Structure 1
Amino acid sequence: MRRITGCLPLAAALLVLAGCGDDSDDGSAGSTAAPSAEASDESGPGEETTEPAADATCTDGPPEAVVTDAGDEPRTLMELSPTAGDTTAVDMRMTMNTTASVDGEESPSMPTPPMLMGMVLTIDDVTDDEITMTVAYDRIEVEGGDPSLQSLLDSMVGVTGTVTTTRSGAFVDGKLDTSGVDPTLAPTMQQLDSQLANLAVPLPTEPVGIGATWDVATAVDSQGFTFCNTFSYTLTSFDGDAYELGVEMAQHAEPTTIEQGGASVELIEAAGSGTGTSAGRLSFPIAGSGSSDTSTSIEMAIDDGSTQQTLDMDMDIQLELSPRE
């Protein structure tokens, strides 16, 4: 199971990483790549409740697509078949809104301006087992943002990194070179590793057809806390190369206590859900389009030795991934 390490300030990191589980899940990718609309634990009369396969669990090792329904005939093995030198450009638009309360006293909501991130991906190497590609960020903008913020974000343009997946699309490794980025933004850039991971959709390693479903679980580590994101995919369209997927995501974190900056931070509860779509081609290992809408809630208790407070935070994140015209 892939593990993505987070480095943002604690509360923001937990919420952003949980929401990205946009991927994608894996996604969220999502990933990337990833989900929309809130999911409910309750089913109405006559509705069936679908739960992720028990085998899709957050454990160490490569992520695994656990097929729960092989779908209709004819069935085909969806193995990626890119060519070294192939390139594609995509844009990702992200909006989020955060609400918080301290000891039950609500704070004003915190909407953030939509952010647009553009990237160019190039296939470097294709072996029998793995695919390696380079990613270069060529556009980072904040809609309606102030000039000073945009100037800071401009230092992120030109950042490059590498991503490795298996031939079935499972994320193996990813690393960004942030040496030239303003130190203020370096932690934010490191979070893009998780977005890249969620763009890679693990495909089944057995033949499937239209209507096939499979589950993938990923772990997201942040400052000592671990989120488990479970993505459930449904193959809605496939012509032998181009595919479209429906995605549902559920996430949770086990209660944990860590020491952070001289304070004791207890994660009491964290959970989220989302749905969305993802689309791509077997000729390229990264999803080329998709959308997601995820909601995450976190409750924490903070004790700095002199003051004890309970912090409740809710975050809604919307992602749109589109191919560059």
Structure 2
Amino acid sequence: MSILTYRALVCGLALAACGGSASKPPAEPVAASRTEVRNGSQGSPETKADAKPLDTAPESETPASPPQPPKVRLLSPGAAPRQALRYRFSVGPSQWSQMDMKMAIGVALGNDVPKAAPLPTMRVSMRIDPKSVSPDGDLRYEFEMVKLTVLRDVVVAPAIREKLEQELGKLTGLKGYAVVTSRGITKEADFVVPPDTSDAMQETLENMRSSLRQMSSPLPEEQAGKGAVWEVETQLVTPAFRMTQTATHTLQNLRPNGMSTRVSFVQNAPRQPMKLKKLPSAKVHLESMLSTGDGKTDVVFDKLVPNSVVSLSTNLQMSVAASDGSTGNMAMSMGVQTNFQPSKPPH
């Protein structure tokens, strides 16, 4: 499962635990993501944090559009020798993964600047069971969140810790499935939602569904070698709003059965109305949203679980019109650092 899928899960839980507040980058600033190759040509590094939010979207558009497959574009093929980058899935024993996520959250009203509020590291242990492989190499697998833990590395108010532990506890045993191609494109994915799931948890899961399609990172169709660069553009749709994510991958090392890459992310969204169940009578507009980040990953082609480290920083600006005619602005920011790795079954 991808870093961003886990991020959607735990961020949703963290926001719920803090009463729906937004987030801010941690005290140690998230590094601005960089890429050294653009449009297939060499050049000086470009800071992706300078990217601008998209322009206004038509007011008539809603987040209910069906998900679109990602667009993968090879920007540079890299050096020879080159090879087709493909997963070689097989049915076998369960694979285990562990994700540690550090984050801090903040919210500000009017023209105030959000202040950081760090949260304890949240650890998720997951079992992944490969079920079948089609003649074309498509893998169908199932997963289960076996253990979710709030670590004691950050001191927070007891009420916040208790709420985090309660929300994480509700997801223990949560199951799902996915179908992913040999190029890492997720064709189908969803959760198996228990019938007694609360309304609050249903909302959290609904926000995660779009991220399920990013469980693995798409690979280019063309052959690639060391230094290759490819871009993956994905349209992400949540119940609240829609956005575009562009991930730029640089192949740093290629092995017969694996590779290591550097990746940078940019997520942005046009101005659009938001649908917030917690504010049903208010009109909320997303004025701008920009998220940047970078990281590194090491992949073994016959395994689903990579070794990855990713940092992301997100800023949102919103305007709110209440039912009584009053208006205001709200700023949110979020910083997340995620470590993702294969593991043994938890004790």
TM range (shorter): 0.7 to 0.9
Shift of 1:244: 0.9
The structure 2 residue matched to 1:156, chosen from 151, 171, 192, is: 171
- Tell me, yes or no, if structure 1 residue 66 matches structure 2 residue 73: yes
Query: Please, which runs of 5 or more residues in structure 1 have no aligned partner?
Result: 20-35, 52-58
Aligned partner of residue 214 in structure 2, secondary structure: helix
Match of 1:187 in 2: 203
1:71-124 C-alpha deviation (Å, 9 max, x unpaired):
111111112111123431110111211222101235653222211011111111
- Tell me, yes or no, if structure 1 residue 229 matches structure 2 residue 236: no
Amino acid paired to 1:234: T
Distance 1:98 1:207 in 2: 41
The structure 2 residue matched to 1:243, chosen from 249, 259, 262, is: 259
The structure 1 residue matched to 2:150, chosen from 142, 146, 149, is: 142
Aligned partner of residue 38 in structure 1, secondary structure: coil
Aligned partner of residue 77 in structure 1, secondary structure: coil
Amino acid paired to 1:294: L
Match of 2:51 in 1: none
Q: How many residues align?
A: 291
1:12-33 C-alpha deviation (Å, 9 max, x unpaired):
89978xx9xxxxxxxxxxxxxx
Distance 1:274 1:251 in 2: 9
Distance 1:116 1:50 in 2: 31
Aligned CA distance change for structure 1 residues 107 and 248 (closer, same or farther; 3 Å): closer
C-alpha contact (below 8 Å) 1:155/1:180 kept by paired residues: no
Query: Please, which runs of 5 or more residues in structure 2 have no aligned partner?
Result: 36-42, 49-65, 153-157
Match of 2:330 in 1: 311
The structure 2 residue matched to 1:281, chosen from 300, 306, 309, is: 300
- Provide the aligned C-alpha RMSD in A: 3.1
- Tell me, yes or no, if structure 1 residue 176 matches structure 2 residue 176: no
Aligned partner of residue 210 in structure 1, secondary structure: coil
Match of 2:314 in 1: 296
Match of 2:32 in 1: 38
Match of 2:59 in 1: none
Shift of 1:221: 1.5
Aligned CA distance change for structure 1 residues 294 and 148 (closer, same or farther; 3 Å): closer
Aligned CA distance change for structure 1 residues 14 and 177 (closer, same or farther; 3 Å): farther
Shift of 1:168: 0.6
Give the TM-score, by structure 1 length.
0.79
- Tell me, yes or no, if structure 1 residue 213 matches structure 2 residue 241: no
Aligned partner of residue 268 in structure 2, secondary structure: strand
Distance 1:254 1:74 in 2: 41
Aligned partner of residue 331 in structure 2, secondary structure: strand
Same amino acid, percent of matched pairs: 20
Shift of 1:323: 1.2
Moved more, 120-129 or 196-205: 196-205
